[in-house]
Structure 1
Amino acid sequence: MESASHEPPRHDLALLQLNHVPGIGPRILSLLLARFGSAEAVFEASGRELLEIQGVGPKLSAAITAARHFDDARKEWRRCGEKDVTLLFRSQSEYPEPLRQIPDPPTVLYVHGTIEPADGVAVGIVGSRHCTAYGRRQAHRLAAGLARAGVTVVSGLARGIDAAAHQGALEAEGRTLAVLATGLFKMYPPEHVDLATSIRDRGAVVTESPLDRGPLPGLFPQRNRIISGLSRGVIIVEAGRRSGALHTARHAMEQGREVFAVPGRIDSRASEGCHDLLRDGATLVRGVDDVLEALGPLSEPVASEDGTVLLSPRELGLNPQEQEVLQLIGLQPTPIDQVLATTALDSSRALATITVLEMKRLVQRHPGGFIERIAR
């Protein structure tokens, strides 16, 4: 991640300024960059050229023209440096790869805390702000179980289900990411300031909004695409038919992420949205194993916090002995004798563990005493 303590490259400064202009959302920003090629070129465009962009009217065109001095961006950059906030641009290698792949990804992320490589295996948990005790309990239980398995829990810091998910991950001493709709200096809801501090210490609080942007209604559906974008799959816990959590589910579907739903009582209006998702093909979630089994292989290997290399989220459910043996098996056929000679386990236990891994479809035997690690 790039420090915000010095003057940024001009193209980053231009992106930050463009992100700061009121009225420019993710879609208009993408259209501007696609039309003009760079943020710098957007500010060099004439008013007539700007008006050719869908969604850009005279007021927004004038606002872009008035922002050509980049003063807001320079001030924002300095404040981030003073408050230990990292600015992460899409062009940087540290930018989360799953998020880079979605339509209209954030051009810049404000990060308070750290985003780690292990966060490449993340699951979102969202739901109603006005949840029942059952919903809060299930969100907490699932988040804690995922965190103990090594999965990063992503949510939106909202009241209700979101807060329960963050708290479950923290109590399990796992990692969690909170995605805000507002700026980092306008925490919403305000009573979650202490929770956000705890999240920062065990993960990160992130947003695409400038530091002082307040809670405008349209920002929350826009924020939900980032929750799903950072996640391999999204679990919906208690959502009525009008719940904003269903926006996250739709984003997840559009982004090719798995959608999971926790069932409630069949007569519970609080779970009607979840039941509709299940009827339409979402994966029913009873526990953590349902989630890990459905996520499928990772697009590329991810190193967990303990240095273990993961090819599939299902590998997170292995016990230490199974994990030790799995790490000794290569992606090309490996002699079983080599595995037995390398492991600290005695041969009978190692062979039994290989059999278990084979039953779990994580390894495959080949003729001649060879074995290969697979991810599917």
Structure 2
Amino acid sequence: MSENDLLYTLALQHVPNIGDITAKRLINHCGSAEAVLKEKKQNLLKIDGIGSVILGDLFKPHHLKEAEKELEFIKENNIQVLYFEDSNYPEKLKHCIDGPMVLFQTGNIHLKQQRIISIVGARKITTSGIAFCEDLVEKLAIYNPVIVSGFAYGTDITAHKAAIKNNLQTVGCLAHGLNTIYPAVHKKYMVDVEKNGGFFTDFWSTDTFDRNNFLKRNRVIAGLSEATIVIESAEKGGSLVTADIANSYNRDVFAVPGRTTDLQSSGCNNLIKYQKAHMLTTALDVPYILNWKLEEEKKPVIQKQLFVELDATEKTIYNYLKENDTQQLDTIAINCNLPIFKIASVLLNMELKGVVRPLPGKLFEVI
């Protein structure tokens, strides 16, 4: 977008009572932020959902003055600005009704045609939570996902560091402007994050630091990704807010279960109990649910055992799959005249014997 377009977009963003949903509605009606700010009030009031309270502060001149200051900050610090109608704006975030009108970016973030997952959880993450998160990212590295998190204490920074260790792109979503970093102790990770990805925020350099910013920031974490993974959470916490937002966007949510006596697992256990999240016990659950497939040359080679003994039922299934290639579990059951409850256990035994392998989408094939 041009510098003039950005100036007026910033001015519109600065107006109180006009959030991202209303701002995008006004822009879609008028054609641009500049057109909105130059339109007559009585014409704007004709737009469905736009009232006098919302427009009460719209035409005050200080919004442009503040926008000019922020524009200077953006230019002086080489900050990239992603506008919601531009092609470089994150595709998945475009589908979120309350996605930011503009995103401010530093680093080298590339999200097109990428698998993107968010990893969130407790700030006071346990030792076992750290181990699970690190192992998860390491085992998913073969799928080359982008790892998104909030750059906060605990789970967030664990996920970012694990991504960097495994040469994966990682994105930190901040709850403040790009003039600072919180927590300050994480400044030492900024260079590595920007080399392997970067930072997003929709806050200005002049925005006050407020705890509510973190809740607003969570919609970006959830909206960027096809799935949100909660590693650990107490009964209440920001990670559960992120999970709820992800659910509202119709995105997948995963939660790592824990013992009923573990306070840091109560939130995750509740997500699973109330069917708000898939239970995550192994890294392989993620590609299975999300239907990720490896490129042919990256598929792990599984050596078929020689002289494996199969019983009559297993031979029937084996011969059927050998003749018909990859088939779904339900189709196998129908064509082999077997009940679903029985065929699932038979296929598991055959998998353990090394003669068939499961694929995403309840598919099976002969090895």
Pick the TM interval, shorter chain. 0.7 to 0.9
Decide whether the 8 Å contact of 1:263 with 1:271 is kept in 2.
yes
Q: Does 1:314 align with 2:308?
A: no
What is the deviation of 1:63?
4.1
Cα distance change, pair 212–277 in 1 and its aligned pair in 2 (3 A) = same
Q: Which residue of 2 aligns with 1:209?
A: 203
In structure 2, how many angstroms separate the alpha carbons of the residues matched to 1:235 and 1:195? 22
Q: Which residue of 2 aligns with 1:302?
A: none
Cα distance change, pair 31–361 in 1 and its aligned pair in 2 (3 A) = closer
SS in 2 for 1:206: strand
Q: Deviations over 1:255-274 (max 9, x none)?
A: 11111001122211111110
In structure 2, how many angstroms separate the alpha carbons of the residues matched to 1:198 and 1:289? 27
What is the deviation of 1:38?
3.4
Q: Does 1:289 align with 2:289?
A: no
Q: Which of 76, 85, 103 is residue 82 of structure 1 equivalent to?
A: 76
Decide whether the 8 Å contact of 2:148 with 2:225 is kept in 1.
yes
- AA matched with 2:298: P
Q: Does 1:168 align with 2:147?
A: no
Q: Deviations over 1:83-111 (max 9, x none)?
A: 22111111211111111111122111101
Structural mapping, 1:10-89, within 5 Å: 10-22=4-16, 24-33=18-27, 36-45=30-39, 61=55, 63-67=57-61, 70-89=64-83
Decide whether the 8 Å contact of 1:89 with 1:109 is kept in 2.
yes
In structure 2, how many angstroms separate the alpha carbons of the residues matched to 1:260 and 1:225? 17
In structure 1, how many angstroms separate the alpha carbons of the residues matched to 2:50 and 2:126? 40
Q: Which residue of 2 aligns with 1:273?
A: 267
CA RMSD of aligned residues (A): 3.2
Q: Deviations over 1:152-187 (max 9, x none)?
A: 100011111111111111111211001111111132
In structure 1, how many angstroms separate the alpha carbons of the residues matched to 2:163 and 2:201? 20
Decide whether the 8 Å contact of 2:149 with 2:221 is kept in 1.
yes
Cα distance change, pair 56–195 in 1 and its aligned pair in 2 (3 A) = farther
In structure 1, how many angstroms separate the alpha carbons of the residues matched to 2:162 and 2:360? 30
SS in 2 for 1:234: strand
What is the deviation of 1:214?
3.4
In structure 2, how many angstroms separate the alpha carbons of the residues matched to 1:11 and 1:74? 12
Q: Which residue of 2 aligns with 1:343?
A: none
What is the deviation of 1:237?
1.1
Decide whether the 8 Å contact of 2:41 with 2:55 is kept in 1.
yes
Structural mapping, 1:1-376, within 5 Å: 8-22=2-16, 24-33=18-27, 36-45=30-39, 61=55, 63-67=57-61, 70-117=64-111, 120-281=114-275, 282-296=277-291, 313-315=292-294, 320=298, 360=359
* Structure with bigger gyration radius: 2
Cα distance change, pair 67–216 in 1 and its aligned pair in 2 (3 A) = farther
Cα distance change, pair 25–135 in 1 and its aligned pair in 2 (3 A) = farther
Decide whether the 8 Å contact of 2:293 with 2:360 is kept in 1.
no
Q: Which stretch shifts more, 223-232 or 75-84?
A: 75-84
What is the deviation of 1:27?
3.6
Decide whether the 8 Å contact of 2:44 with 2:50 is kept in 1.
no
TM-score, normalization by structure 2: 0.74
In structure 2, how many angstroms separate the alpha carbons of the residues matched to 1:119 and 1:210? 29
What is the deviation of 1:230?
0.8
Q: How many aligned residue pairs are there?
A: 310
Decide whether the 8 Å contact of 2:287 with 2:360 is kept in 1.
no
Percent identity for Structure 1 against Structure 2 = 31
Cα distance change, pair 126–361 in 1 and its aligned pair in 2 (3 A) = closer
In structure 2, how many angstroms separate the alpha carbons of the residues matched to 1:240 and 1:76? 38
TM-score, normalization by structure 1: 0.72
SS in 1 for 2:229: strand
Cα distance change, pair 86–260 in 1 and its aligned pair in 2 (3 A) = same
SS in 2 for 1:314: coil
- AA matched with 1:195: Y
Q: Which stretch shifts more, 174-183 or 126-135?
A: 126-135
